[in-house]
């Protein structure tokens, strides 16, 4: 049975060539959206196109305002009405005590995680104003608590919550909804790297730190990229039509 129902709607997923973004892109494709994905990694984009030839891809660094403007010129001209921006791009940044955080690492983390979301929302807003739609920002549970030794990342994700709440109020009258998802630990190579670096920084075993991370969740488990994708799809769907300004853990 073909469950594709949104055939005229376009979605752009940033950093969608791998990880959570890829799962989101595939979930929207499965729901019948016209899916655009940008990413830094040309090889991973080519692999995505091999697996899902209907997805349109572009090599774009979201921290580069000119590149983002060019990306949106292309997406705007493509068939379909622009319905959803998923600001998924985000780097882990350094794991280090504050006195060891390099200026460049601080700036780079904010440039990708926060400036990139701003450049994309700025370009998406006129497209969304035409027919309504929504912006989904992939924040983190690091946006809900303090996170020692992850200062740039935590600050960038708390910034995304202010960004979400402000844009929800600013764009709400135009029928545009803005929400944030705040995943805890998502299974995959990225969280494995974070745990290894955290364990090294604190002189603990990887297994001990992994258990600590799992205990941060009420269900004592990591979520999957597909869980996040399902929530993004729900927020974009008519079932989520009255949800805006929320940061969903």
Of these, 18, 57, 95, 154, which contacts ligand NAD (CB under 6 A)?
A: 18
Enter the DSSP assignment of 31.
T
Q: Is 18 helix (H, G, I), strand (E, B) or coil?
A: coil
Of these, 15, 27, 117, 180, which contacts ligand NAD (CB under 6 A)?
A: 15
Phi, psi of 181 (to 5 degrees): -105, 135
> What whole-number distance in Å separates Cα of residue 37 and Cα of residue 51?
13
* x/- letters, 165..194, toward ligand NAD (CB under 6 A): ------------------x-xx-x-xx---
Cβ-based neighbour number of residue 26 at 10 Å? 21
Comparison of 89 and 128: residue with beta carbon closer to ligand NAD: 89
- Shortest Cβ 173–ligand NAD spacing (Å): 28
H-only helix segments in 14-115 = 19-30, 42-51, 65-77, 103-110
- Shortest Cβ 112–ligand NAD spacing (Å): 4
Comparison of 61 and 198: residue with beta carbon closer to ligand NAD: 61
Kindly name the residue from 33, 153, 213, 242 that is annotated as catalytic. 153
Which segment (84-92, 144-152, 164-172, 233-241) binds ligand NAD by CB under 6 A?
Answer: 84-92
Question: Is residue 91 a contact point for ligand NAD (CB under 6 A)?
Answer: yes
Burial readout 191-224 (b: 16 or more C-beta within 10 A, e: otherwise): beebbebbbebeeeeeeebbeebeeeeeeeebbe
Question: Is residue 21 a contact point for ligand NAD (CB under 6 A)?
Answer: yes
Question: Is residue 89 a contact point for ligand NAD (CB under 6 A)?
Answer: yes
Question: Which residues lie closer than 8 Å to 199 by C-beta, 6 or more apart?
Answer: 205, 206, 208, 209
Of these, 63, 109, 125, 164, which contacts ligand NAD (CB under 6 A)?
A: 63
Contact 135, 87 (CB under 8 A): yes
- Shortest Cβ 107–ligand NAD spacing (Å): 13
Reply yes or no on whether 208 is catalytic: no
Question: Which residues lie closer than 8 Å to 63 by C-beta, 6 or more apart?
Answer: 108, 111, 112, 115, 116, 119
| Total of chain residues touching ligand NAD, rule CB under 6 A | 27
Reply yes or no on whether 165 is catalytic: no
Question: How many angstroms separate the Cα of 202 from the Cα of each of 17, 91, 96?
Answer: 32, 21, 10
Catalytic site positions: 153, 157
Query: Under the rule (CB under 6 A), what is the footprint of ligand NAD?
Result: 14-15, 17-21, 39-41, 44, 61-63, 88-91, 112, 138, 140, 183, 185-186, 188, 190-191
């Amino acid at each position: 049975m073909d469950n594709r129902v949104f055939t005229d709607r376009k979605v752009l997923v940033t950093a969608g060539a791998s990880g959570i973004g890829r799962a989101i892109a595939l979930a929207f494709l499965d729901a019948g959206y016209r899916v655009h994905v940008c990413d830094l990694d040309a090889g991973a984009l080519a692999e995505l196109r091999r697996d899902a030839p209907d997805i349109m891809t572009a090599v774009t660094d979201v921290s580069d305002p000119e590149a983002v403007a060019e990306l949106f010129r292309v997406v705007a001209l493509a068939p379909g009405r622009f319905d959803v921006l998923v600001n998924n791009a985000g780097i882990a940044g350094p794991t280090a005590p504050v006195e060891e955080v390099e200026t460049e690492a601080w700036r780079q983390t904010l440039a990708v995680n926060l400036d990139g979301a701003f450049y994309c929302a700025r370009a998406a807003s006129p497209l969304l104003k035409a027919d309504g739609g929504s912006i989904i920002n992939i924040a983190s549970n690091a946006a809900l608590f303090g996170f020692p030794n992850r200062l740039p990342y935590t600050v960038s994700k708390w910034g995304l919550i202010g960004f979400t709440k402000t844009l929800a109020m600013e764009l709400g009258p135009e029928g545009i909804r803005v929400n944030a998802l705040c995943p805890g630990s998502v299974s995959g190579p990225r969280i494995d790297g974070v745990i290894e670096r955290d364990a090294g920084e604190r002189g603990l075993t990887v297994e001990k730190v992994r258990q600590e991370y799992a205990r941060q969740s009420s269900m004592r488990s990591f979520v999957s990229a597909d869980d996040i994708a399902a929530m993004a799809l729900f927020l974009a769907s008519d079932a989520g039509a009255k949800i805006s300004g929320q940061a969903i853990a």
